[in-house]
Structure 1
Amino acid sequence: MGGIVQFDNVGLRYGTGAETLSDISFTLAPGTFHILTGPSGAGKTSLLKLLYLAQRPSRGLIRLFGEDIVTMPRARLPGFRRRIGVVFQDFRLVPYLSAYDNVALPLRVAGVSEKELDGPVREMLAWVGLANRATARPATLSGGEQQRVAIARAVIGRPELLVADEPTGNVDPEMAGRLIHLFDALNKLGTTIVVATHDIHLIGRVAHAQMMRLDRGRIADPTGALRHPPSRPAA
């Protein structure tokens, strides 16, 4: 049975430079939790961009939800993106919307009525500790508060796939624990989760999480050895 995500010999190159990602192959089973690690510059953010369809690969095959997204017409991509929740490293909140309206945005796009979305949005804001900041706009929120709004917005619609780039980078350890608990609860409801992080403490918080490490644009095994080492030049 295929996974919810399948990469087969994927490469990504920006412009004419060297490949940022090379020979990336893995399958994510539905309902699994994955933590993506690796040093700065290893390609973690680039890999996440492929997962949430912000970038197409230079080569190789990517299948999401059982469909080939490399050859998929661009007109179909927005519908696919609505099945994916994303926590961006730079938050990307809508500046003229309140915290409440930022969190409500995915539900409104999905056609949920105002009456039906009010309870879930307020509950989500309370969960991330922002019940009293519902009317605040992003410019008046601290970096940690903006991060929590971004996470609430990403998970409010119970996406099939959640992709998070350093989701606890701007919050204190107590709130980081709450947010990981939120991700874990969402995962138990069936969402496949991929979290990129440098936080070694975070790595041990989810006992069932599977580790995936990038090293110089390639997937490494738990010992640090590359699964797909560069081929040697011909003698």
Structure 2
Amino acid sequence: MANIVQFENVGLRYGTGPETLSDVSFTLATGAFYFLTGASGAGKTSLLKLLYLAQRPTRGIIRLFGEDAVTMPRDRLPGFRRRIGVVFQDFRLIPHLSAADNIALPLRVSGVSEAEIEAPVREMLAWVGLRDRADAKPPTLSGGEQQRIAIARAVITRPEMLVADEPTGNVDPDMADRLLHLFESLNRLGTTVVVATHDFQLLQRIPGAHMMRLDAGRLPDPTGSLRHPPRKP
């Protein structure tokens, strides 16, 4: 499948207010890395919600994994969502569960047996550098540690697409580099990665990444063509 996502003239309106997104058209290639940029209020989070099927558009066509996501019956949505990993800006970890149990949650929801959960959870903890924090509860973890647990939870099911909303917004520059390295490693394994950010410094850190810039709910290029981010001289 050449394209994992296709948007055609998509619009999104909340209630009776003005459109948050207007005539948005683009495609995402399978296995590529994308930065979604734009000023605060440009519509980045709303576009991500459409990507991970938390919201349906007001108008337009959205195709995910080759299928129409707009008219898809609701009983098929949970299975589709399991093909997409999501890293939320506010982490959304369950405070009374350990780091390991937070990571294991998607597997348990999917019905994976307990005997098959322990090994992948250990692997994810090692991958994000938190093997020694398996039993820690989220309130005892730093912001960067919580973010890494959220990332591990998002990718433990080996999603075909990973969507991350401002994943480096609450961490220092060194941790931001580490998180981006995790995303890049996942991308090299074949996962399509979409990272929303307002930090233009990030765009120089992933060679070969593409950039889409939202401006007041619109993509300035109506064809949705991709632009490479600026490189350091």
The question of a shared fold, defined as TM-score above 0.5 by the shorter chain, is answered with: yes
CA distance in 2, matches of 1:202, 1:155: 21
CA distance in 2, matches of 1:83, 1:29: 16
**Aligned match of 2:37:** 37
**Helix, strand or coil for the counterpart of 1:35?**
strand
Higher mean displacement: 10-19 or 125-134:
125-134
**Helix, strand or coil for the counterpart of 2:180?**
helix
TM normalised by structure 1 equals 0.89
Contact persistence 2:10–2:23 (CA under 8 A): yes
Q: In the alignment, residue 27 of structure 1 is paired with which amino acid?
A: T
**Aligned match of 2:181:** 181
**Aligned match of 2:125:** 125
Contact persistence 1:83–1:160 (CA under 8 A): yes
**Aligned match of 2:207:** 207
CA distance in 2, matches of 1:2, 1:186: 19
Contact persistence 1:161–1:192 (CA under 8 A): yes
The share of aligned pairs that are identical, in percent, is 77
CA distance in 1, matches of 2:139, 2:215: 36
The one-character-per-residue Cα deviations of 1:89-133 (angstroms, maximum 9, x if unpaired) are: 111112221110111112233343434332332232233232222
Within-5 A mapping of 1:1-235: 3-221=3-221
**Helix, strand or coil for the counterpart of 1:124?**
helix
Q: In the alignment, residue 186 of structure 2 is paired with which amino acid?
A: L
**Aligned match of 1:232:** none
CA distance in 1, matches of 2:198, 2:151: 18
Q: How many residues align?
A: 224
CA distance in 1, matches of 2:11, 2:71: 15
CA distance in 1, matches of 2:30, 2:177: 24
Give the CA deviation at 1:39.
0.4
Can you give the 5+ residue segments of structure 2 that lack an aligned partner in the other structure? Answer: 225-233
CA distance in 2, matches of 1:142, 1:55: 31
The one-character-per-residue Cα deviations of 1:18-70 (angstroms, maximum 9, x if unpaired) are: 00000000011110110000001000000000000110000000010011011
TM normalised by structure 2 equals 0.90
